[in-house]
Amino acid sequence: MSRLLEGRGELGSLMRTARLIERAQEHLRAHLPAELGEHLYVGGFRQGRLTLITDRATWLTRLRYEQPRLLKRLHELAGFEAVSGFDLKVRPVRPPKAPVRQTRHLPARAADELSSCAADVDDPRLKRALERLASHAET
């Protein structure tokens, strides 16, 4: 497995690129204030430009001011001497939100009323629906 990941194939190339991006992200985060660094992610490298992603526009604005210094720091890192600039993007991170489960309660008295209505109804479909509703009563 190790030979596959280190090899000359597509997977090996992809792993090398991922390691480079991870090194760049760690290096850049180390040279930023802590509150800004934790919101910085390196998204990729394309045509000599490194894509920097942050989760809010306010952090993106601060990154714009830091660009010249970050580019200089990035050139110190082996393999990134050819980076000519940054593409900055905002990608909000929203944690998945489980829908709020609404539990409904049917009092026994209401179930009795539904049952008595069902007894007086001639339509069989309506009668079954009322009986089904009455069956949900609290025990």
User: E-assigned strands of the chain?
Assistant: 40-46, 49-54, 85-90
- 21 with 77, same domain? yes
pLDDT tens-place string over residues 46-94: 888 999 999 999 999 999 999 999 999 999 888 888 889 999 999 987 7
- 108 with 86, same domain? no
Q: From CA 43, how far away is CA 51, in angstroms rounded? A: 5
Q: From CA 56, how far away is CA 88, in angstroms rounded? A: 11
* Residue-number span of the structural domain to which 64 is assigned: 8-90
Residue 68 lies in a domain: yes
Give the pLDDT band (50/70/90) at residue 139: low
Residue 96 lies in a domain: no
User: Does pTM top 0.75 for this prediction?
Assistant: no
Give mean pLDDT, residues 104-131: 91
Number of domains in the chain: 2
- 16 with 77, same domain? yes
